[in-house]
Structure 1
Amino acid sequence: MTTTLSPSATLPAPRPTRRRKPLRSRAYSWFRAAALVLIVLVFILPLAWMLLSSFKTNVDIYDVAKTLVFTPTFDNFANVLGRDNYFQFIFNSAWIAFASTALSLLVGVPAAYVMSRFSMGKSAAVVLLARIIPGVSLLVPWYFIFANLRMVGDYSVLILSHMFVALPLIVYIMMSFFDSLPEDLEESAQVDGLTPIGAFLRITLPLSTPGIATAGILSIIFSWNNFMFALVLSGANTKTLPVAIFNFVSYASIDWGGLMAAAVVVTVPIMVIALFTQKYIVSGLTAGATKG
């Protein structure tokens, strides 16, 4: 006896078959994962060693058996924060970083706007040249000039020297950002009665806030970490944190525990700033990456 299916009856849906990735695709995935892990380890391991060493004595740092298992001590941080007025060095680094960044933004943002809108390629090339020149080649003439002006050791000479690097960086970031903003907005604002300066202040400048934040954050990071300019041009009362770390290096020995604790004090604030502002840095850089 044979049975016939009614038209309304439906056959069970076939089970989907899993398609295995080709061998080449799987090998590439494994290679990419291994490369990412290797890159992360290259960046993380020195920071981890620095952090662990800051809680060790010098004897424990040299003992390989106590690389991970050791008795932590806070004497290094007490020594760092309690010697040689270390909080003054923190203030110096913060003041120089924020002052040089603020002045560079005040000069660099209008300069970048003018270069972008009026296609000043030669001026942009000069700014790029200032960015390419190694800072160490300028230390001797700077020291000679500022020594004759009796400015060596003041905050002003450090702020000016940091601006020499921060200003070209800000100009080039903001130029690419202004290139991505349509000029129609400014033209419409001028039709409505605004002057070119008014259109810049009321229309273009608010729209360029992500780019300004990006340039400012990168400038602060550079200034905070700068060592070379402060080593030559700072005085006893204007030392910054990177220069103050040298106090733990002597001719006969190195206080590795204190040196690592001081390095943590220098590194942690800037890492926190970068962590909480990374979305602004990424959005500012990507906003200026495309035009139109």
Structure 2
Amino acid sequence: MSKSLLSAGSTQVDPHGTARPVRRRKPLSVRAYKWFRVGALTVVVLALLAPLAWLFASSLKTNVDIYDATKTIVFTPTLENYVNVITRNNYFVYIFNSFWVAFVSTVLSLVLGVPAAYAMSRFTMQRSALVVLMARVIPGISLLVPWYYVFSNMRMVGGFTVLILSHMFVALPLIVYIMMSYFDSMPLELEESAQVDGLTPIGAFQKITLPLSVGGMATAGILAFIFSWNNFMFALVLSGAHTKTLPVAIFDFVSYASIDWGGLMAAATVVTVPIMVIALFTQKYIVSGMTAGATKG
């Protein structure tokens, strides 16, 4: 027997007669695709994280350091911007305003939207679904002038009620649209079995369908909350001095003559961090709710 390794099918035999499996190299196309996928993913992640890193770094700089290109990476951090935002500009009030408007508008939209989505899904209300889709397509800015005219005549501009109602105009169709797909993916046989056991259609919805749709409701509620938290346009026109939300309060750092970039970056960080934390801890609900209906046959 030669001293070199002898090939025997999928194994190799060494000079001592021991069989060892052959390690086959993956085809070049497979390896190239793997490296392309890793490179593309790296580029996307860096493109998404770079603005956030620059935002946070700028919030720790003075305005002089922000304009100094030599201190882009190496600089002396300071918390003066955060002190200015949180303590001197009364941002805790704006944080509460944003949370209150987002929370109430989301809860009310869920209370109204989930039963509406269930009815449209189970009773094939195509015209109503078309109206919901049109409400999703209509840009909100086209309604600001009519809203302002109507609510100003009703002496409601500047209060929380008008902000909550305006945010519900976008949150409610969003919730209905997501929940319709979620209910469509749920088998009707579950409700029929519950009704055979003695439950009414409403009882089957409350005890069977509703508990199983928690993932979809979490998805819809999170997305509606994020929209309301980040909304600037509605709050700019319809809010008042005591109901100003965080996105509108950030605009105060922009004046006619100059821009306080340090304060602006710190305020933007204050707005961004809570939403990032919420999305991080609720990502499994977002994924499960977004993929609902994907396997519907």
TM-score (norm 2): 0.92
Q: Does 1:36 align with 2:41?
A: yes
Q: CA deviation at 1:150?
A: 0.9
Residues 208-237 of structure 1: per-residue CA shift (max 9 Å, x gap): 111111111111111101111101111111
Q: Distance in 2 between matches of 1:138 and 1:72?
A: 44
> Percent sequence identity over matched residues?
76
1:168 aligns with 2:173: yes
Q: 2: distance between equivalents of 1:291 and 1:19?
A: 40
1:42 and 1:179 map into 2 onto residues whose CA distance is 36
Unaligned runs of 5+ in 2: 1-15
SS of equivalent residue, structure 1 residue 289: coil
CA distance in 2: counterparts of 1:112 and 1:278, whole angstroms: 23
Per the alignment, residue 141 of structure 2 pairs with: 136
Matched to 2:269, the amino acid is: V
How does 1:95-110 map onto structure 2 within 5 Å? 95-110=100-115
Shift, 1:146, TM fit: 0.8
Q: CA deviation at 1:13?
A: 4.5
Deviation at 1:18, TM superposition (A): 2.3
CA contact (8 A) 1:211 1:288 kept: no
Q: Report matched runs for 1:132-211 at 5 Å.
A: 132-211=137-216
Please give the root-mean-square deviation of Cα atoms over the aligned residues, in Å. 1.2
Amino acid at match of 1:192: D
Please list every run of 5 or more consecutive structure 1 residues that lacks an aligned counterpart in the other structure.
Answer: 1-10
Where 1:76 maps in the other structure, the secondary structure is helix
Please tell me whether residue 253 in structure 1 is matched to residue 267 in structure 2.
no
Residue type at the aligned position of 2:46: L
Letter in 2 for 1:84: N
Deviates more, 1:22-31 or 1:269-278: 22-31
> Which residue among 3, 12, 17 is the counterpart of 1:12?
17
Listed as ranges, the matches of 1:65-144 within 5 Å are: 65-144=70-149
Alignment counterpart, residue 280 of structure 1, candidates 279, 285, 288: 285
Match of 1:6 in 2: none
Task: Tell me, in whole angstroms, the C-alpha distance in 2 between the residues paired with 1:188 and 1:255.
Answer: 63
Instruction: Give the TM-score taking structure 1 as reference length.
Output: 0.94
Match in the other structure for 2:26: 21
Tell me, yes or no, if the aligned pair for 1:131 and 1:165 is still in contact at 8 Å: yes
Moved over 3 A (4+): 11-14
Q: 1:27 to 1:147 in 2, by over 3 A?
A: same
1:116-174 CA-partner distances (Å, limit 9, x unpaired): 00011111011000000111111111111111111111101110111011111100111
C-alpha distance in structure 1 between counterparts of 2:80 and 2:252, whole Å: 16
Mapped pair 1:227 → 2:232: yes
SS at structure 2 position matched to 1:15? strand
Q: Which residue of 1 aligns with 2:50?
A: 45
1:19-74 residue CA offsets vs partner (Å, 9 max, x unmatched):
22222222222221111111111110000000001010001111111111111101
Aligned length: 282
